[in-house]
Chain A
């Protein structure tokens, strides 16, 4: 196999992208890692809580510490990291259209492209949702953990999944009051460990409850909530008004599909992992030759699984570009899959494991 001089281009320097780039560089492949932000790390630096899993998954380590470690590795390896660089298109033949600092546009011919562009938070439209004070939970987390700004004094959180409860706890730690966490479904959605911590802090949880509207003149002053029936329709007469100045929406994430679509990747609809996402196989190859998808872009999971998926793509891309022998590629892939499988265990992991298995079954043979 000949050595291709075109670099592997990794789009997105979050946990998945960093790991992909590290694997490529370790194998000796030329790699360019691009990120639209001024700092690499994606969402890792917002994660001040400890991660789960086994020791090899850095369990017990806080997200930002994992981010720091990955950054140190990437610096040590001398990876070409291009920050403030937005990838705005993909041309046929793997031309990556990048815009640097909003002022210089160029196209880079890539040997392969690894899309690690994450996901975006879902909105929830209710009357008053455009008032100042309504924001996604991720936005509140950025304000508190990155910019050290408290978004408000008294907060309602809509959605009891992990994002909702973790952000709820972090808002409490930052000094806000959490008036309630409401959940449309009949049961709570987050890990028990996080949920229990928030409950112990005195935050009430309301299941089978939705938000009807936000009220206020210049910004949020009140939220009106109500019970819902089995068809998620509000039940008349159950309305309750909460005095809050902030409403955090935590109702799931949607994989970033834009660049994969432009590259021509075939999508698959998997509701458990966030909706439509690019179909992929066990090496994280999409349906388009030379295009890989990893992390939340390939189905919304967690930072720990994103890192392993990044490694899978990095390992295979290094092999495909001629920098890693087949035996070494297979061995590393298998080891990575072992760790991935162990991450997708437990009540929540099983569901993701089954969902991923469906994608892989359709996306060619698993490694």
Chain B
């Protein structure tokens, strides 16, 4: 990306701010729903950077206070695990 105005929020999955805002305007109300809708937060870092940015957008779009955004869920493994590590 050069000096354009497009903003990637989830860098791992290359999800833009516009896509996330569109998802919220279409009904996504939690980080979890935005994740399923757009894949933001489903990449290799598992939302470590974009989770807070998505929370902020949910607040802006839905008029929520920061503490009112539902806590995002996590699933194991929380880090990428190679299939090789299961050989035994």
Q: Which residues of A contact B (CB under 8 A)?
A: 36, 86, 88-90, 97, 99, 102-105, 120-123, 125-131, 213-217, 254, 257-259, 261-262, 267, 269, 271, 275-276
Tell me, in angstroms, the Cα distance from A275 to B48 when the chains sit together: 13
Do A258 and B71 form a contact, CB below 8 Å, given A88-B79, A129-B7? Answer: no
Picked from B74, B79, B86, the residue with its CB within 8 Å of the CB of A262 is: B74
Do A261 and B77 form a contact, CB below 8 Å, given A103-B85, A105-B86, A122-B52? Answer: no
Residues of B within 8 A of A127 (CB): 3-7
**A123, B52: Cβ atoms closer than 8 Å:** yes
Do A97 and B84 form a contact, CB below 8 Å, given A120-B49, A123-B53? Answer: no
**B57-88, CB < 8 A from A:** 66-67, 71, 73-79, 81-82, 84-86
B84 CB to nearest A CB, Å:
6
Tell me, in angstroms, the Cα distance from A122 to B52 when the chains sit together: 7
Name which residue of chain B comes closest to A129, CB basis.
Answer: B7
Q: What is the number of residues of chain B that contact chain A, defined by CB distance less than 8 Å? A: 33
Name which residue of chain B comes closest to A249, CB basis.
Answer: B49
Q: Which residues of B contact A (CB under 8 A)?
A: 1-9, 11, 17, 46, 48-53, 66-67, 71, 73-79, 81-82, 84-86
Tell me, in angstroms, the Cα distance from A306 to B66 when the chains sit together: 25
Tell me, in angstroms, the Cα distance from A18 to B67 when the chains sit together: 31
Q: List 14 contacting pairs A-B, 8 Å CB cutoff, sorted by A.
A: A86-B79, A88-B78, A99-B85, A102-B85, A103-B84, A105-B86, A126-B7, A127-B6, A129-B7, A130-B8, A217-B2, A257-B74, A262-B74, A267-B71
Tell me, in angstroms, the Cα distance from A301 to B7 when the chains sit together: 31
**A257, B71: Cβ atoms closer than 8 Å:** yes
**B76, A262: Cβ atoms closer than 8 Å:** yes
Name which residue of chain B comes closest to A270, CB basis.
Answer: B67
Residues of B within 8 A of A104 (CB): 85
Of B6, B17, B78, B81, chain A has the most CB atoms within 10 Å of the CB of: B78
Rank and list the top 4 A-B pairs by shortest CB-CB distance, nearest first: A89-B76, A88-B77, A269-B67, A105-B85
